[in-house]
Chains A and B, each alone.
Chain A
């Protein structure tokens, strides 16, 4: 990997510069504030970009043009929508549970912020390198459904409640598949730290090195994570045609924007996890063969940040493709899919991967 693309040089330089100016405690607090600000700006910017991308992609799938009036090719459309949502009045319904009603959007929003903390987007571009990064993400990502459930309950609206309950039933079961699919790959990586998982793929991505079981795990992960983000064919928590807007029926203004934003940032996060675990994070495309060293060296010249975000974009596009192709599943069909198909397949795949890891039958 070329050292010029390493962000840790920049961060180390900033750290040194700050250390020369003030006390170690003050340096730590300043760095935390800087990182927090960057994180908030990143989430807001990503929300705007992803919403626009979703609308444009949806338009092309349906042979429409999509937003094309605000700014060139409509790129300022989401900014205008965001400003509109900011200026709207926040209405609380009379019989809502005020405290929980106002709390739910924040719980939903906390999840992506926590999860983004451990994801390496580029070499050195990682907020915190926990040695149990994968475990941390799977633990934190189950908190999002709590916000949805609280929002659905506190609105005191039957549509919201049904939406929240459906979402809870679905996410609790699909959490299993997501975690098991990740665990299947952790057998190969042998570590839970996100940066070490990326480093273990320096000679080739796990989806290539782990061949058949890795591919099965990836497909299962893709299906289950689509369900976990409440989108695509699994969007029955919102189900516009049945439940008006599901759990966020009673929300408006910036509180609605929080729910909306968290859906898209969650999509970014599950795509990033898939990228890190299956596609080597920011690692360039390397082949684990002798004759491919020249090819591997050429690939090194593309910066890690391009690889990282390129792969994330590809998986986000796949999820958008699902959303605009497949019809929505019924709740019993969704639970059937999980408990009768994904979970048994996952367990068998887990066993298969263990055998392969034991016999060393991987590249």
Chain B
């Protein structure tokens, strides 16, 4: 008798779980119009919203005076796990103090090797680097994937600490 009750209980439980599964998918089917998550990508380029935390590629933040916050400390270069950053520094004489100061000549970024791990952005002490929301980064030539991040003619902002 006990085994028969167990058997019948099993059947009813089975049907119950089947029904609860069907309820979930049924809800999605009948509400598919408002729940659909597919984005029809090339058609919606104008209205496409890129999330803030999206990692497109590394950029150096420049303000309106074409000034950046990078003093060439090479922390990003050291943090990079696969060597896709090469900071070429230079020394100039500060006219106010007469001391020699380190500035960057070229902040070279090899996008072809980058895994977009965000470690360089985290390592930067002066928040000079950031990730932008660019996509469609494919190019036909590998050389086009090497960027110099500091814009031509840019210089370091005044209040950046050493």
Contact = CB atoms under 8 A, between A and B. Distances in A.
Partners in one complex: yes
Interface of A: 57, 60-65, 68, 321-322, 324-326, 341, 345
Interface pairs A-B: 8 shortest CB-CB: A60-B32, A325-B25, A65-B38, A64-B38, A325-B21, A60-B29, A61-B25, A61-B29
B36 A63 contact: yes
Given A326-B18, A341-B11, A63 B25 contact: no
A231 B11 CA distance: 22
Contacts of A68: 40
A126 to B, nearest CB: 33
Contacts of B28: 60-63
Contacts of B25: 61, 321, 324-325
A60 B35 CA distance: 9
B83 interface: no
Contacts of A60: 28-29, 32, 36
A345 to B, nearest CB: 8
B37 A321 contact: no
A62 B38 CA distance: 10
Contact of A63 (B11, B21, B26, B32): B32
B38 A63 contact: yes
Among A62, A324, A341, A345, which residue has the most Cβ atoms of chain B within 10 A?
Answer: A62
11 contacts: A60-B32, A62-B28, A63-B36, A64-B36, A64-B37, A68-B40, A321-B22, A322-B22, A325-B21, A325-B22, A325-B24
Given A63-B37, A64-B37, A65-B36, 11 more contacts: A61-B25, A61-B28, A61-B29, A63-B32, A63-B38, A321-B22, A324-B25, A325-B22, A325-B25, A326-B18, A345-B11
Contacts of A321: 22, 25-26, 29
Nearest to A318: B22
Interface in B1-38: 11, 18, 21-22, 24-26, 28-29, 32, 35-38
Contacts of A65: 36, 38, 40
Interface residues of B, number: 15
A62 B31 CA distance: 11
A60 B38 CA distance: 11
A63 B40 contact: no
A63 B24 CA distance: 12
Contacts of B38: 63-65
Nearest to A68: B40
Interface in B56-77: none
Contacts of B40: 65, 68
Contacts of B26: 321
A117 B161 CA distance: 88
A103 B108 CA distance: 65
A324 B32 CA distance: 14
Contacts of B21: 325-326
Nearest to B23: A325
Contacts of B32: 60-61, 63
A142 to B, nearest CB: 27
A57 B25 CA distance: 11
A107 to B, nearest CB: 33
Nearest to A66: B38
A341 B13 CA distance: 13
A60 B29 CA distance: 5
A321 B38 CA distance: 20
Contacts of B22: 321-322, 325
A57 B38 CA distance: 15
A63 B18 contact: no
Nearest to B35: A63
Contacts of B35: 63
Nearest to A320: B29
Among A64, A321, A325, which residue has the most Cβ atoms of chain B within 10 A?
Answer: A325
Contacts of A62: 28
A321 B21 CA distance: 10
B105 to A, nearest CB: 50
A294 to B, nearest CB: 32
A326 B18 CA distance: 8
A305 B21 CA distance: 33
Nearest to B26: A321
Nearest to B22: A325
A280 B30 CA distance: 27
A57 B30 CA distance: 10
A57 B36 contact: no
Contacts of A325: 21-22, 24-25
Contacts of A326: 18, 21
